[in-house]
Chains A and B, each alone.
Chain A
């Protein structure tokens, strides 16, 4: 498990460059310093994940703990369950829409704000940033009112003849039968995406702005001299340079959207026909409201695996490449 690589996640030169020295007293002290944290993480992260995995294979679906072995029974139940199938569909479309809109809006805003001619740049920046300081619960409570079909934005939109049903809409776009559910984009998900985008676009914007400011002006100049139009400059030169940043944003947003819970719980709940339900909400309700601990544990393990698919290659690469 331990390749003796000298690389690390951030760029730095370290003392340990003098290789293979006997560990001094100070080094042992350093390891001792680190020990409590390592032990805590081993127990609270890895130990507890193992324990959850064990619960997910048990029969503990009542108030009374029952650790008798159930095999994959809980997993099989979930994959045949209407609600869980709906959750996977919702989470898939939520993740795709949420990440794409955050990336595009964040990049567009960053490019606009990076133009030298914008006055009041910091005012605009703060307007786009501040929702990040808020809780998903606050966001959920407010957007619940704004996108309620009988209040909120519809009071304005009906003047132009529009009255979308927002998160109460149970229809599925381009739906077809798959398993027990209708697979397709649930219209209600769009409402949740709007709220999530409102909250998280600032993150992408901040990352892209930092990235744009790191790009040498000489590169822009050179491209302009070569006759690049402004559009080509961004499309062919700048955006490819921002690829590592785009990757980071995708990773951060993906792990937020795969485990999303509080926004949904505060804003819409599972919704009629579970059109806005998510694995995180199902896990919470079935475990802590319904006492189906083993089912809840199985949902949690599936969520963990989904996140791990994104995160592990990323962590592994960051470690190998150094930077």
Chain B
């Protein structure tokens, strides 16, 4: 079938062309960051490096390492806490509905869409008052609170798929609210926690607005440090590219190894999946 063949060829040409567009930044990042520091002529930007050289990485890493660790200290507790709270809320809002539960859910959900600029001024005042301004715990608090809507939404949709008969049976056996959560819901939640955990990890790691307004210099997470690095005129641009790759590495690795769950989170987080 020559027509089929032609169609197939066109299909591949289109897909490969668009793929090249998507891969272009990665190519530039890799090629540039692997060039030796002396070899930074812009004219040869697209050329492969004459030899593989990691000195850009060494320099970028020495500049970004403290901020990288700040991000780790921020992301781990914030992800765990917001996932736990989301699981509790999702459990109540899907399995223990009361009058007004849906209204409360909508009230929570709106918090997911607001531009954070609209709460930033009071938030910073508040953090100053409770002496958490310019601290990692302050940022953790912020991410846990503003993560509530999305984690609640994800767990609520997730628990909707657990059959109610299971809960009914447990109730007949005399299990109460907490026992059901502890012995039935939580053991069934592993993949839910993976999806929500990955989602929160990625979002919090990548977040910039809170990070740049709530923390200063030595408390800043990685993305702020990367932005400062790229804004500086004196940093060679292969160091900037190496820095960008270092900053992106954790979420990229998560995507590479757990991409399936990442995409599931994306679908679950879009209100109507």
Contact = CB atoms under 8 A, between A and B. Distances in A.
Interface of A: 1-2, 4-5, 7-16, 23, 25-27, 29-31, 33-34, 36-38, 40-41, 44-45, 47-49, 51-52, 55, 105, 109, 112-113, 115, 117-118, 124, 126-146, 150-153, 155-156, 198, 203, 206-207, 210, 244, 248-249, 251-252, 255, 258-259, 261-262, 265-266, 280, 283-284, 287-288, 293, 296-297, 299-301, 303-304, 307, 311-312, 314-316, 318-319, 323
B270 A248 contact: yes
Contacts of B270: 207, 248-249, 252
B126 to A, nearest CB: 8
Contact of B176 (A8, A26, A198, A283): A26
A303 B117 contact: yes
Contact of B248 (A134, A259, A266): A134
Interface stretch (B48-56, B132-140, B148-156, B189-197): B148-156
Interface string B42-62: 110110000000000000000
B98 A151 contact: no
Most buried by A among B95, B164, B248: B248
24 contacts: A29-B176, A37-B88, A38-B104, A45-B111, A45-B114, A45-B146, A48-B119, A48-B122, A112-B14, A117-B7, A129-B262, A129-B263, A133-B202, A133-B252, A133-B254, A134-B206, A139-B25, A141-B227, A146-B25, A152-B45, A206-B263, A248-B270, A307-B114, A311-B113
B19 A135 contact: no
B42 A41 contact: no
Closest 7 CB pairs of A and B: A135-B206, A16-B97, A259-B115, A12-B160, A30-B96, A133-B255, A48-B119
A14 B272 contact: no
A142 B119 contact: no
Nearest to A54: B122
A51 B122 contact: yes
Nearest to A287: B121
Given A33-B88, A141-B230, A142-B244, A134 B99 contact: no
Contacts of B255: 129-130, 132-133
Given A136-B208, A266-B230, A37 B117 contact: no
Chain B's interface: helix, strand, loop or mixed, by majority?
A: helix
A265 B208 contact: yes
Contacts of B178: 29
Contacts of B212: 284
Contacts of B266: 132, 203, 206
B188 interface: no
A258 B114 CA distance: 10
B92 interface: yes
Contacts of B103: 1-2
Do most interface residues of chain A lie in helix, strand or loop, or is the interface mixed?
helix
Interface string B218-232: 000001001100100
Interface string B166-198: 011000000011100000000000000000000
Contact of A145 (B28, B91, B167, B267): B28
Contacts of A45: 110-111, 114, 119, 146
Nearest to B10: A112
B228 to A, nearest CB: 10
Given A132-B266, A137-B226, A300 B120 contact: yes
Given A26-B96, A287-B120, A300-B117, 13 more contacts: A4-B99, A8-B102, A12-B160, A25-B176, A34-B93, A118-B11, A138-B247, A141-B244, A266-B230, A280-B117, A303-B117, A303-B118, A307-B115
B69 interface: no
Given A117-B11, A145-B237, A15 B145 contact: no
Contacts of B2: none
A84 to B, nearest CB: 14
